[in-house]
Amino acid sequence: MSTSVLPDVLQIGRLSVSPPVVLAPMAGVTTAPYRTLCRRFGNRQPFDDATLPPGDASTASGGLYVNQMITARALMEGHKKMLHTARFADGEAPRSIQLYGTDPYWIGEAVRKLVGEGEVDHIDLNLGCPVPKVTRHGGGSALPWHHHLLRNIVRAMVNNAEGVPITLKFRIGIDDDHITHLDTGRIAEDEGASAVALHARTAEQAYSGTARWEAIGELKEHVTSIPVLGNGDIWEASDAQRMMAETGCDGVVVGRGCLGRPWLFQELSEAFTGTEITPAPSLAEVGQIMTTHLDLLIDWLGEDRGTRDFRKHPGWYLKGFPVGSQVRQQLNQMKSRDEMLAVLGSLADEPFPPEAARLTRGHSHGPRRVALPHRWIETRDDPTPPGAAAAAYTSGG
């Protein structure tokens, strides 16, 4: 594959995404405040500038920033937490969300509701979650094995979407003996989905080892009528370009690489336009970005909940910096904005340690045996949705 010309626009149905970069849905992370921060970076706007970044229902400027996963059935039953998760920031455009479910009826109805109420401009289907409490009930990364059921789900989504692009995000398969990515890609194409994204690991691998980008190349050769996005182990902008050059994929989905490094979207934007990459921020500048991130969360959730929600982020922001465990612990337990500012103010400035970009953040567990429903492997052709328990799952992954 030639490395010379990489596309700088990705067309997902009626949605143009430029650069061809997507913030991966990440439960508990890709909240409206975090999406806003990443989107500002992707548009090369000062991170503390509250002016709305450009973009509308059909133009994802600076990349596409996907909301967290919501459970179709919980949404339809009006669960408060789910309705809150499904919210977007004022002026956020386009509005992109991921759905989880195992029953064509509930997923179809959730799409109808979101689209009918004018709530979304893009809907992704979660087929990659490897968490045992999900796969044990046939959901997430277990679902593609039951290909007729999957087809019925995608069909219900597309039929109710009124032209809003539907995409599928999945893994290579359950394990090396039960590979499904090519069949899933074909189902997506047949049923009118607008793009597919492959996290190039099996469910058994979970987050361990290195993503198998060659499977992305294989999928790209197999799926010819809609874009194929690659996902897994993009830590720096050069990884995104290498993935596209090596696999021929049409765009990239970025997960853990941006945890504590929302400026990765600026680097990606610069790389795709051939602009010189802005140097990574120093520790003092990272402190300012953390403060803006916390302020956005406080505006969204109030000081108490916003501060609590932020506690998962400092460890990622400070990864690789020479900051002692006592400081890290204080930030992990902070109760207010003032407390964070006092702790950050006590730190001497440091340049960004270049090796920090590639230090794993977020999940790294696996491999582990995939929990499946009784006789799930043997009943591959059964189109019946698994039991209601799967629909109760709410925490992503």
Ligand X SMILES: Cc1cc2nc3c(=O)[nH]c(=O)nc-3n(C[C@H](O)[C@H](O)[C@H](O)COP(=O)(O)O)c2cc1C
| Residues annotated as catalytic (active site), given as ranges | 129
Query: Residue numbers of the site for ligand X (CB under 6 A)?
Result: 24-27, 29, 68-69, 98, 126, 128, 169, 199, 231-234, 254-257, 362-363, 396-397
Closest CA to 285 of 356, 350, 359, 358: 350
Whichever of 29 and 179 has its CB closer to ligand X, that residue is: 29
CA–CA separation, 250 and 252 (whole Å): 7
Nearest distance in Å: CB 397, ligand X? 5
In the chain, how many H helices and how many E strands?
Answer: 15, 13
Nearest distance in Å: CB 259, ligand X? 7
Whichever of 208 and 329 has its CB closer to ligand X, that residue is: 208
Write the single-letter amino acid at 326: Q
Whichever of 132 and 383 has its CB closer to ligand X, that residue is: 132
Q: Is the Cβ–Cβ distance between 350 and 281 less than 8 Å?
A: no
Nearest distance in Å: CB 88, ligand X? 16
Whichever of 165 and 396 has its CB closer to ligand X, that residue is: 396
**DSSP states along 145-188:** GSHHHHHHHHHHHHHHSTT--EEEEEESEEETTEE-HHHHHHHH
Nearest distance in Å: CB 257, ligand X? 5
CA–CA separation, 41 and 260 (whole Å): 13
Nearest distance in Å: CB 85, ligand X? 10
The length of the chain is: 397
Name the β-bridge partners of 70: 99
Whichever of 191 and 233 has its CB closer to ligand X, that residue is: 233
Q: Is the Cβ–Cβ distance between 105 and 394 less than 8 Å?
A: no
